[in-house]
């Protein structure tokens, strides 16, 4: 097992998987084992774990994600060949634990990293705030790590290091639609609209607003977009294709569906601003909205249709122990007792210090 410089649980697990993969590669003839990292973020209770388990063909019940969880997947390239490894991280708690994005994103994996954003289609009034907060936090840390990596490599002269610097940046094909008008996410991004089975029962006009808005956001970030439901084998099959493309480098499939009356399936590069059209609005004068840029304009119109919920309470919730979904009555009661004992100890200690000060 390789020497480990960090004692965090997640990095210990990742190192263990790495060592097993290396041993497997050597045992099968020394061929290099491909390793990729996929980071799942998204709506609280939006179905991230259920989708991940289905994509990995794991028949087990899903449980609420506690803060940040790690697992891995393996896939053989062929008969008697080493298995490629996908390191899979899942962030729980919606936007409340967005500070934890710094753990899965490291200089060691940034060139093989992909991000999956799962948005709960059944809760459109929380969708934009969730998307904006998580993508901003993730992008900010990606850019920070990328900058640190490039500075470190530039400090070491040599053609090999310089080549790595250039390969760290995401480069789109020259014929990518609207290449000069979009702002590609630093790493490959897949946006999954979950719970389509509930969303499809919504008002048709509101469905059109959600669909066109997510099409715009996906194209703006050069991301893939798919609407899915764990209750639909067909949709989950298409979702698995896009997931496997990020996790194992497999073909992402050729299905494309841009019809807002049907589940969207739009691989990156398959859409364009001309096909998406203008923001869907009939009762708002677009010229009256003081938008800074096209993305801000879509945001203002979307929030007119779906006023966003107050997320201040979620942002303040940094301790998973205070989150109702992780409640354990016996443990919580014991902790409450210990907290009371600690408070009493502090009060007694304060009295003792005041007594010493008076004597002095």
> Which part of the chain has CATH 3.40.50.300?
9-312
Quote the pLDDT of residue 103.
94
Highest mean predicted confidence (pLDDT) among 137-151, 275-289, 331-345: 137-151
Query: What sign results for the dihedral spanned by CA atoms 249, 228, 323, 302?
Result: positive
* Residue with more model confidence, 155 or 66: 66
pLDDT tens-digit profile of 7-29? 566 666 656 655 554 444 443 44
Please compute the mean of the pLDDT values over residues 298-315 and round it to a whole number: 77
Render the burial of 190-229: b for 16+ CB within 10 Å, e for the rest: bbbbbbbbebeeeeeeebebbbbbbbbbbbbbbbbbbbbb
Highest mean predicted confidence (pLDDT) among 24-33, 320-329, 338-347: 338-347
| pTM assigned to the model | 0.77
Q: Enter the tokens of residue 73.
A: 């997947």
| 244 contacts 305 by C-beta, under 8 angstroms | no
Please compute the mean of the pLDDT values over residues 40-44 and round it to a whole number: 96
Average pLDDT, the chain: 83
Please give the C-alpha separations between residue 177 and each of 139, 189, 226, 264, in angstroms, as whole numbers: 22, 16, 19, 18
The residue ranges of DSSP E strands in the chain, in sequence order, are 35-42, 68-76, 83-91, 113-120, 189-194, 224-227, 265-266
| 117 contacts 189 by C-beta, under 8 angstroms | yes
pLDDT tens-digit profile of 146-155? 888 877 777 7
Quote the pLDDT of residue 315.
47
Separation CA 232–CA 346 (nearest Å): 56
Q: What pLDDT band is residue 32 in, cutting at 50, 70 and 90? A: low
At the second CATH level, the architecture of 9-312 is 3-Layer(aba) Sandwich (3.40)
| 185 contacts 223 by C-beta, under 8 angstroms | yes
Q: Which long-range contacts (CB under 8 A, 24 or more apart) does 150-156 make?
A: 152/107
Query: Which residues, 6 or more positions from 340, have their beta carbon under 8 angstroms from its beta carbon?
Result: none
Render the burial of 74-111: b for 16+ CB within 10 Å, e for the rest: beeeeeeebbbbbbbbbbbbbbbbbebbebbbbeebbb
Separation CA 14–CA 64 (nearest Å): 21
Number of Cα atoms under 13 Å in the Cβ half of residue 254: 0
pLDDT tens-digit profile of 103-131? 999 999 999 999 999 999 999 999 999 99
| 46 contacts 118 by C-beta, under 8 angstroms | yes
Separation CA 212–CA 224 (nearest Å): 14
Give yes or no for residue 350 having a pLDDT over 50: yes
Q: Lowest-confidence range among 68-77, 223-232, 234-243? A: 68-77
Separation CA 103–CA 182 (nearest Å): 28
Terminal C-alpha separation, the chain: 59
Q: List residues bridging with 334 in a β-sheet.
A: none
Please compute the mean of the pLDDT values over residues 52-78 and round it to a whole number: 89
């Amino acid at each position: 097992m390789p020497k480990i410089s960090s004692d965090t649980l997640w990095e210990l697990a990742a190192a263990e998987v790495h060592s097993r993969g290396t041993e497997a590669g050597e045992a099968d003839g020394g061929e290099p084992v491909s390793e990729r990292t996929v980071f799942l973020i998204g709506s609280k209770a939006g179905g991230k774990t259920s989708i991940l388990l289905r994509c990995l063909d794991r028949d087990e019940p899903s449980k609420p994600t506690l803060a940040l969880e790690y697992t891995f997947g393996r896939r053989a390239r062929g008969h008697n060949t080493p298995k490629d490894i996908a390191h899979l991280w899942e962030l729980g708690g919606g936007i409340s634990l967005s500070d934890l994005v710094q753990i899965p994103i490291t200089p060691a994996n940034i060139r093989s990293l992909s991000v999956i954003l799962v948005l709960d289609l059944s809760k459109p009034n929380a969708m934009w705030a969730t998307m904006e907060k998580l993508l901003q936090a993730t992008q900010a840390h990606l850019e920070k790590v990328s900058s640190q990596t490039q500075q470190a490599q530039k400090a070491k002269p040599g053609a090999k290091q310089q080549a790595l610097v250039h390969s760290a940046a995401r480069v789109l094909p020259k014929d990518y639609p609207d290449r000069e008008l979009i702002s590609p996410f630093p790493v490959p991004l897949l946006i999954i609209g979950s719970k389509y089975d509930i969303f499809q029962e919504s008002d048709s006009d509101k469905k059109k607003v959600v669909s066109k808005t997510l099409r715009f956001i996906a194209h703006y970030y050069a991301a893939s977009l798919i609407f899915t439901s764990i209750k639909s084998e067909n949709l989950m099959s298409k979702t698995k294709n896009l997931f496997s493309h990020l996790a194992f480098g497999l073909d992402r499939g050729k299905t494309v569906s841009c019809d807002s009356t049907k589940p969207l399936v739009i691989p990156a590069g398959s859409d364009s601003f001309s096909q998406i059209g203008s923001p869907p609005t009939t009762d708002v004068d677009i010229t009256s909205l003081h938008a800074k840029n096209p993305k801000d304009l879509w945001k203002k119109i979307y929030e007119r249709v779906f006023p966003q919920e107050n997320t201040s309470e979620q942002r303040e919730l940094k301790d998973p122990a205070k989150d109702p979904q992780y409640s354990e009555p016996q443990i919580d009661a014991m902790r409450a007792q210990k907290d009371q004992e600690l408070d009493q100890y502090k009060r007694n200690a304060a009295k003792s210090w005041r007594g010493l000060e008076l004597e002095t």
